[in-house]
Amino acid sequence: MTLLEAKNLSVQLDQKTILEGIHFHLQAGELVALIGPNGSGKTTLLKTLCGLLPAQQGKITALGTPLASIPRQQLAKILAYLPQGNESHWSITVESLVMLGRLPHQNPWQTPSNHDKEIVCQALKACDALQFKDRPVDHLSGGEKARVMLARALAVEPKILLADEPVAGLDPGHQLEVMERFQQLSSSGMGIVTVIHDLTLAARYCDRLVLLYDQQVLAEGIPEKVLTTKNLALSFNIQAHIGKMQGLPFIIPTSVAHPNQE
Amino acid sequence: MPLKSPLFSIEHCSLFLVLLLLTILTFAGSLIVGASSVGWKDLLSVFVGQESEMAHLILLEIRLPRALLGLMVGFTLGLGGAVLQGYLRNPLAEPGLIGVSGAASFGAVITIYTGAAGLFALALPLGSILTALFAVFLVQLLAGKNGGSLRLILAGIAVTSFASALTSLALNMAPNPFVSLEIMFWLMGSLADRSFEHVWLVMPFMIIGWALLFKLGRSLDALTLGEDAAQTLGFNLKHIRHLMIIGVALSVGAATSVSGSIGFVGLVVPHLLRRWVGHKPSALLLASGLGGAILLLTADIAVRLLTTGTELKLGVLTSLIGAPFFLFLIVKTKRNTMS
């Protein structure tokens, strides 16, 4: 089932074209990595896909319905967005922060039901954050905060999860945990799009990569097809060692490529 | 089931009980303290219906409206402050920020300047409320179409500055020193010599305003995660901003129209109570409203106790205490962000 689809998408911000002619689709059960150099429009694409930014051209559909015609409250029940930066403006407890993910499912004057509490508890467990559920969020380390924010997004119980750099700032162990968690979630039917800078993690865990460069999709498909020497040199301007060890792919950037050597 | 409402959660039950008790105590205190010797014994006699004519007049006609207004104005300022701080996610925000108080003050000044205030008692609060509503219309227009908060603050600052310039102009052009004195005294903020007419006039505006502001609780919670995340949780930023502006305009505009500008209550109260409700914006609304009422009633009692010859103005007292506290907050905030 196609969860999200964008056809011929163009996005301009302040009269500057950020994305042009983008085709994108996300199937149920798929884990897609959005990669590309800084400023290539990854965050813009993610925000456009969840309706935060208007597209000047093109059509986005979620579950077959045009995105613009889905009421915001309805969309909030099926799509969760995990912004970059993990900001929490007030020092509320971890549990009440994750409970915010239940807001789309609650009536205006309703307090959290036992069902809500159960889901929050599961989300915290899944992100290895249950042990500090009573701590104020601003007392957490960067990595702990990132896991709490992910738990918040999971508490929505979305069909679609759009995550902007969810593993940034995590130690290697928790990076692997988040990616494994994504893999489990996608194999249970969730469609996940994640912006990620760690190409090795992207190659290892994601079903499909979308490489953005110069306002457009430079390459798209299975990791082996996208992460080629040529693509990496063109988009990231790097030379990289691409290999496999015990069946696991890895990419090690070795030097900055010189554009004229192409 | 009031205990199941998100505004009044069970975890903070004891806090709300304490606040409610203090509100009742300060309200009663406001009834028994004053220039005349009518005190708590007379208050009890009113309850059993055996009060003297003198006690009846002073308690029910003079002190009761003053106490009611203290309660309502304090509640409005506390609630408005909590909403503004939650909406802007800034602990230094206060209800006057969007220009309502400045405009309401100017509206009142105009009625004094033109002499309309002397013609009938309600001219002043009416003129004040109308100006506040007009200012809100202007702020909405200036704040732009997208739901962002930065332009709103800038629009609020612009309207406040303009209103204050016009207020100064009215003072400057005052036909005689008595008018300027009257304007000056009004601007200082006071609850003295208000009648039930004032209570009935502002009550509907305030109640509608409060209702709109209480509706914002969930949205303010969602805004904890930032504007983008709040939108993807199903909240419409434009809708939130409209509710907030209109709610603040009605309640704070009405409060200013009847009491003059009373500073720092809306800033200090939410700040003091935030930790007691676990920093949750929605739980802070009712707590902050009650806290504002307690603070203003207490200040209004203090004003009466401290007054000897010339009446000490309520707004002067709150600012005298509030300004150093504000400085303390800034120093503390700076230290936190630096560490």
Encode pLDDT of A207-261 as tens digits: 999 999 999 999 999 999 999 999 999 999 999 999 999 989 999 999 887 755 4
Q: Please, how many CA atoms are within 13 Å of residue A92, restricted to the half-sphere of its CB?
A: 27
Residues of B in contact with A97 (CB under 8 A): 224-225
| B211–A contact, CB cutoff 8 A | no
Q: What is the pLDDT of residue B140?
A: 86
Nearest by CB: A90 against B6, B224, B235: B224
For residue B8, the model assigns a pLDDT of 56
Identify the three-state secondary structure at position A10.
Answer: strand
Please give the pLDDT value at position B199: 95
Of B9, B225, B231, the CB nearest to A100: B225
Domain count, chain A: 1
Give me the pLDDT at residue A262, please. 45
Q: Is B75 on the interface with A (CB under 8 A)?
A: no
State the pLDDT confidence band at B336, using cuts at 50, 70 and 90. Answer: low
Q: Are A147 and A128 in contact (CB under 8 A)?
A: yes
Asked if B2 is an interface residue toward chain A (Cβ–Cβ < 8 A), one would say no
* All residues at 6 or more sequence positions from B207 whose CB lies less than 8 Å from its CB, including other chains: none
Does the distance separating the beta carbons of A88 and B224 come in below 8 Å?
Answer: yes
- Asked if B270 and B325 touch (Cβ cutoff 8 Å), the reply is no
Predicted local confidence at residue A5, as pLDDT: 95
Q: Which fold has domain B2-338?
A: ABC transporter involved in vitamin B12 uptake, BtuC (1.10.3470)
Q: Are B81 and B94 within 8 A, CB to CB?
A: yes
Q: In whole numbers, what is the pLDDT of chain B averaged over residues?
A: 88
Longest dimension (CA), chain B: 63
Widest pairwise Cα distance in chain A:
64
Once rounded to an integer, what is the mean pLDDT over residues B124-139?
90
Q: Is B323 on the interface with A (CB under 8 A)?
A: no
Mean pLDDT score, A95-124: 92
Report the pLDDT value the prediction gives residue B37, as an integer from 0 to 100. Answer: 73
User: Per residue in A70-85, pLDDT tens?
Assistant: 999 999 999 999 998 8
Q: What is the mean pLDDT of residues B300-305?
A: 92
CB A41 within 8 A of CB A34: no
What sign for the dihedral angle of Cα B298, B299, B302, B307?
Answer: negative
Of A52, A110, A111, the CB nearest to B232: A52
CA distance B255 to chain A (A): 27
Nearest to A193 by CA among A9, A32, A27: A32
Q: What is the pLDDT of residue A240?
A: 92
A109: nearest CB among B6, B226, B281: B6
pLDDT per position as a tens digit, A126-154: 888 999 999 999 899 888 899 999 999 99
Q: What is the pLDDT of residue B314?
A: 93
Q: What is the DSSP string of A50-111?
A: TTSS--SEEEEEETTEEGGGS-HHHHHHHEEEE-TT---SS--BHHHHHHGGGGGGS-TTPP
User: A6-33, pLDDT tens digit by residue?
Assistant: 999 999 988 899 999 999 999 999 999 9
> CA nearest B4 in A: which residue?
A111
Give mean pLDDT, residues A96-110. 91
Phi-psi region of B226 (alpha: psi -120 to 50; beta: other; left: phi over 0): left
Is B235 in CB contact (< 8 Å) with chain A? yes
Pairwise CA distance, residues B283 & B132, whole Å = 28
| Residue B4: predicted pLDDT | 45
Mean pLDDT, to the nearest integer, of B114-138? 88
**pLDDT tens track for B204-242:** 999 999 999 999 999 999 999 999 999 999 999 989 999
Instruction: Give one DSSP letter per residue of A133-150, joined into a string.
Output: TTSBGGGS-HHHHHHHHH
Q: Residue A215's domain is classified under what CATH number?
A: 3.40.50.300
Query: For position B2, what pLDDT does the model report?
Result: 37
State whether A81 and B235 contact (CB < 8 Å): no
Residue in B274, B302, B104, B280 with CA at minimum distance from that of residue B205: B104
What is the pairing mode between strands A238-245 and A216-221?
Answer: unpaired
Q: What percent of chain B has pLDDT over 90?
A: 56
CA distance, residue A191 to nearest chain B CA (Å)? 16
Q: How large a percentage of chain B has pLDDT more than 70?
A: 94
CB B330 within 8 A of CB B303: no
Contacts of A143 by beta carbon, 8 Å cutoff, 6+ apart: A169, A170, A171, A174
Q: Which of A53, A95, A109, A195 to mutate to test the interface with B (most CBs of B within 10 A)?
A: A109
Structural domain for A18, as ranges: 2-261
CA distances from B123 to A233, A253, B201, B258 (A): 75, 76, 11, 11
Residue identified by tokens 């219309």 is B137
pLDDT at B6 over 60: no
Q: How far is B283 from chain A (nearest CA, A)?
A: 11
Lowest-pLDDT range, A15-19, B130-134, B258-262, B304-308? B304-308
pLDDT band at B339 (very low <50, low <70, confident <90, very high): very low
One-letter amino acid of A218? L
* B5 pLDDT above the threshold of 60: no
- Of A1-15, B84-98, B142-156, B272-286, the least confident: B142-156
Q: How far is B229 from chain A (nearest CA, A)?
A: 7
Chain A residues whose CB is inside 8 A of the B225 CB are 83, 87-89, 97, 100, 152
Q: Please count the residue pairs, one from chain A and one from chain B, whose beta carbons lie less than 8 angstroms apart.
A: 82
Please name the residue of chain A whose CA is at the shortest distance from the CA of residue B282.
Answer: A109
CA angle A73, A78, A79 (to 5 degrees): 90
Closest CA to A89 of B284, B76, B101: B284
Residue B7 has what pLDDT?
57
Determine the distance in angstroms separating the CA of A181 from the nearest CA of chain B, rounded to an integer: 21
Residues of A with CB under 8 A from a CB of B: 47, 50-52, 72-77, 79-83, 85, 87-93, 96-97, 100-101, 103-104, 106, 108-111, 136, 152, 156
Coil vs helix vs strand at B59: helix
B172 burial class (0-12, 13-18, 19+ CB within 10 angstroms)?
exposed
User: For chain B, which residues make up each domain, given as ranges?
Assistant: 2-338
Cβ atoms within 10 Å of A23's Cβ, excluding its own: 14
Give the nearest partner residue to A100 out of B89, B224, B236, using CB atoms. Answer: B224
